[in-house]
Structure 1
Amino acid sequence: MTKKRTLEELFSDPQTSERLKERLYSKKGLLGKESPFSEILQGMVDTMLDAEIESFLTEERASGTANKRNGKTGKRVISEIGDLHVSTPRDRKGHFEPELIGKRQRELTSGLDDQILALYAQGNSIEDVRRLLEDIYGVSISAGRISQITDKVLPEIQEWRTRGLQSFYPVVYLDAIHFKVRQDGKYINSAFYTVYSVDWEGNRDVLGLYINSGGEGARKWGLVMEDLKARGVADILVVCTDDLHSFSEQIQEVFPYSIIKKCIVHQMRNSLKYVDEGDRKAVVKDLRQIYTSTTEEGAKTALSAFEVVWGKKYKYIVKQWNENWGELMAFLDFPTSMRKMIYTTNPVEALHRIMRKLVKSKAAWVSETALLKQLYLSINKNEKSWKRKAYGWTAIQRDIMEKYPERIPLKN
């Protein structure tokens, strides 16, 4: 085993200076495997621990206690600059408690946990994180230890998912994102239900992420609504959703006064599903005349015009729009400033794009818990991109106050 050198020996050795220069010119960076900086740090740590015990023994002697050194205990310590093999001094009476690295401490600083969580939040698997720590920092940590570190976020997630909510939300978007998760030896589709809101002050927030194995379902969305109510939500003015069957009924069982606004974009996708390629451009143009009308009367006229031109060939499109008319056109009851916010579920789908981007390299997850940890960390890491205040919100507030004065709580 190579004899460890003191800090003075390291800095007085011209080879140390040459190794540092070589490391810099190699473009490998200051940290990582075989970096001389880990050797220097280890020398500093040993010097500081020796200084600690000398100070401790001086105080012991001053108080009249007969005590002296009793050798050293070696242990491996993880640091952000690499693995250290530290020699912790001991005293005869066993009273010495080092401050720099405690007796049971295996990490020089807590910063490495933050690095692990940051790497995990970027969509890296546990094995990816282990390999990256080895390559970048020269630190060898087991997959089990990394998993334990990421598990530290679970109590935080539980607290976040059960936190109290405001009593009134002007706008809430509901949508699901789907992933493959391992369960009972096989991979199944798991739906993550996302509740994305705009509160009375115009602040955006994710009210919750809900796991549901086996895909999306209206009744399961009803349970989500019940959870929101249990956490303090008394009223939602507008709920923006896709066109899931029976969705509206489940929402209004819990929030009977909410205005359901079905997503125009989802409706357009469904309408164009069976349209011939040669007709697509013209059909899109004529459908656009419906949802860009300034009044409901104008929208009805545009639908009638569409039926005259396309009703025979694409009867199903006319039927879809008629069946969903009230919830598709609900946004026309609101001022123009608010219509842009609620005619589609794009805001929550933009949040889902952030999630997918961060986890796009993974085909599946070993468990729903692993997926939940990664999604929670990813949306927290990227708060700046989805937690912005709603644009032009002051004007929207005035419009809501004028049209729905009875819905605005005195204190939210």
Structure 2
Amino acid sequence: MKKRQTIEDLLKDPKMNERLKERLYSKKGLLGKESPFSEILQQMVNTMLEGEIESFLSEERASGNLNKRNGRIPKRVLSDAGPLDIFTPRDRNGDFEPELIGKRERELGSGLDDQILALYGQGNSIEDVRRLLDDIYGVSISAGRISQITDKVLPEIQEWRTRSLQSFYPIVYLDAIHFKVRQEGKYLNSAFYTVYAVDWEGNRDVLGLYINSGGEGAKKWGMVMEDLKARGVADILVICTDDLQGFSEQIQEVFPASVIQKCIVHQMRNSLKYVDEADRKAVTKDLRQVYTSPTEEGAKTALSAFEAAWGKKYKYIVKQWEENWGELMAFLDFPLPMRKMIYTTNPVEALHRIMRKLVKSKAAWVSETALLKQLYLSINRNEKSWKRKAHSWTSIQRAIMELYPERMPQKN
């Protein structure tokens, strides 16, 4: 009878040593497709399974049970090092349950699932993930199985989207990002509403992602506000938004005490939309005098100067600023460090840029659920870039306490 090869035999084998050296010198690393390390790991797993049944049968004999071996069952399992052919020992009574890899398990350890989620969270499609696993690790997994693994994150997403929130947030940014999603056989625009906040301690957080088939709408934002309230939010000091029509009314129905700050950057884009190219630089410079003024009185003076210079040619610009004046200039009621944080929705748009970068290779998604999974994994994977604490927050806290003492969160 041929002696079973041990791990020691493999490591001492000159051919194996040569293959390992060749693998390392080729800069391919130990893991991956056609790696000799998979043979070593395979032998190690089989040796450990043999050790498990020996220990099990020893305990059986010690208790007076005459249970014995009953052969082995071959199966192929997936691992980080590639596919492994293992032989699970059996006992006559059928009581042996291996701990290393169960009788019905087909994956060694949880690392493979984590790698699949990481690859998917980088913006790769299901097919991209399948191909990468085969090319890099030599692991062949069906697209259906990969989809099942990514679906494991859905309960986590649901828990995250319904979690309880804090009662008070000093700053909340509201903005939407648009993607094409397959609906009823067609690829249509879907708006994903993002609620990005800074809490009382200056920590940033994404409070929620909300799906809306079709374009962005103020009524949907009203539903988002209601959801925040239902999850525990009682008060928001400043809500930063774009200039979507009807947005402010929807917000104030739910949070009437909130200060609404419309994005200056959005306003500038709208103002310059119909400006002649020859005038653009000068108009931009003069409008900048309005929103960079340290006081509201100075801002009004700058707008009057703009009207004198450009009002006849660009009357619509003056009208836009006058009609939205209170919500455009709201930031002037706050200290300078906070003004820099709230005069624009750029912080949430920076988060959206991360999302777009991670999913830029895809033109559309097969479903809203598939897109939601990918966005959730993406923002979690990159949270260090958007979750950092707000700059100069201690001074902002002091100013809020002085200006709005009645709005402070209650200590438990």
Q: Would the TM-score normalized by the shorter structure come out above 0.5? A: yes
1:236 alignment partner, SS class? strand
**1:135 maps onto 2:135 in alignment:** yes
Q: CA deviation at 1:256?
A: 0.6
Partner in structure 1 of residue 104 of structure 2? 104
The residue correspondences of 1:116-195 to structure 2 (distance < 5 A) are 116-195=116-195
The 8 Å contact of residues 101 and 108 in structure 1, kept in 2 or not, is answered as yes
Partner in structure 1 of residue 45 of structure 2? 45
Pair 4,323 (structure 1): closer, same or farther in 2 beyond 3 Å: farther
Q: What is the rounded CA distance, in whole Å, between the counterparts of 1:241 and 1:178 in structure 2?
A: 16
Q: What is the rounded CA distance, in whole Å, between the counterparts of 2:385 and 2:164 in structure 1?
A: 24
The 8 Å contact of residues 168 and 236 in structure 1, kept in 2 or not, is answered as yes
Partner in structure 1 of residue 15 of structure 2? 15
Q: What is the rounded CA distance, in whole Å, between the counterparts of 1:239 and 1:131 in structure 2?
A: 44
1:166 alignment partner, SS class? coil
Alignment-mate amino acid for residue 13 of structure 2:
D
The residue correspondences of 1:1-400 to structure 2 (distance < 5 A) are 5-400=5-400
Q: What is the rounded CA distance, in whole Å, between the counterparts of 2:97 and 2:409 in structure 1?
A: 57
Alignment-mate amino acid for residue 231 of structure 1:
R
Q: Which moved more, 1:279-288 or 1:131-140?
A: 131-140
2:78 alignment partner, SS class? strand
Residues 11-65 of structure 1, C-alpha deviations (whole Å, 9 max, x = no match): 3321111111111122222122211100111111111111211222222222221
The 8 Å contact of residues 31 and 138 in structure 1, kept in 2 or not, is answered as no
The 8 Å contact of residues 170 and 199 in structure 1, kept in 2 or not, is answered as yes
Q: What is the rounded CA distance, in whole Å, between the counterparts of 1:395 and 1:168 in structure 2?
A: 18
Q: CA deviation at 1:411?
A: 2.4
Q: What is the rounded CA distance, in whole Å, between the counterparts of 2:55 and 2:165 in structure 1?
A: 53
1:269 alignment partner, SS class? helix
Q: What is the rounded CA distance, in whole Å, between the counterparts of 1:397 and 1:302 in structure 2?
A: 31
Alignment-mate amino acid for residue 185 of structure 1:
G
Structure 2: 5+ residue runs without aligned partners?
Answer: none
Q: What is the rounded CA distance, in whole Å, between the counterparts of 2:5 and 2:178 in structure 1?
A: 56
Structure 1: 5+ residue runs without aligned partners?
Answer: none
The 8 Å contact of residues 172 and 197 in structure 1, kept in 2 or not, is answered as yes
Q: Which moved more, 1:10-19 or 1:354-363?
A: 10-19
Q: CA deviation at 1:200?
A: 1.1
Q: What is the rounded CA distance, in whole Å, between the counterparts of 1:182 and 1:281 in structure 2?
A: 42
Q: CA deviation at 1:8?
A: 4.0
Q: CA deviation at 1:76?
A: 1.1
Aligned length: 410
Alignment-mate amino acid for residue 251 of structure 1:
I
Q: What is the rounded CA distance, in whole Å, between the counterparts of 1:233 and 1:355 in structure 2?
A: 26
Q: CA deviation at 1:152?
A: 0.9
Q: What is the rounded CA distance, in whole Å, between the counterparts of 1:332 and 1:391 in structure 2?
A: 18
Alignment-mate amino acid for residue 37 of structure 1:
F
Q: What is the rounded CA distance, in whole Å, between the counterparts of 2:288 and 2:4 in structure 1?
A: 76
Q: What is the rounded CA distance, in whole Å, between the counterparts of 1:16 and 1:406 in structure 2?
A: 74
RMSD, matched Cα = 1.3
Q: CA deviation at 1:71?
A: 1.1
Residues 263-291 of structure 1, C-alpha deviations (whole Å, 9 max, x = no match): 00000000011111111110000000000
Q: What is the rounded CA distance, in whole Å, between the counterparts of 1:12 and 1:204 in structure 2?
A: 55
Q: CA deviation at 1:135?
A: 1.2
Q: What is the rounded CA distance, in whole Å, between the counterparts of 1:4 and 1:61 in structure 2?
A: 25
1:211 alignment partner, SS class? strand
Residues 347-371 of structure 1, C-alpha deviations (whole Å, 9 max, x = no match): 1001111111111111111110011
Pair 201,279 (structure 1): closer, same or farther in 2 beyond 3 Å: same
Alignment-mate amino acid for residue 402 of structure 1:
E
1:395 alignment partner, SS class? helix
Q: What is the rounded CA distance, in whole Å, between the counterparts of 2:393 and 2:6 in structure 1?
A: 63
Q: CA deviation at 1:335?
A: 1.5
Q: CA deviation at 1:4?
A: 8.3
The 8 Å contact of residues 191 and 211 in structure 1, kept in 2 or not, is answered as yes
Residues 271-321 of structure 1, C-alpha deviations (whole Å, 9 max, x = no match): 011111111110000000000111111111111111111111111111111
1:82 alignment partner, SS class? coil
2:197 alignment partner, SS class? strand
Alignment-mate amino acid for residue 336 of structure 1:
L
Pair 308,122 (structure 1): closer, same or farther in 2 beyond 3 Å: same
Residues 167-190 of structure 1, C-alpha deviations (whole Å, 9 max, x = no match): 111111000000010111110100
Q: What is the rounded CA distance, in whole Å, between the counterparts of 1:25 and 1:385 in structure 2?
A: 36
Residues 187-229 of structure 1, C-alpha deviations (whole Å, 9 max, x = no match): 0100000001111111111110000000100011000000001
Alignment-mate amino acid for residue 199 of structure 1:
D
Indicate the percent of aligned positions where both proteins have the same amino acid: 85
Q: What is the rounded CA distance, in whole Å, between the counterparts of 2:183 and 2:231 in structure 1?
A: 30
1:313 alignment partner, SS class? coil
1:59 alignment partner, SS class? helix
Task: Give me the TM-score of the superposition, normalised by structure 1.
Answer: 0.97
Q: CA deviation at 1:154?
A: 0.7
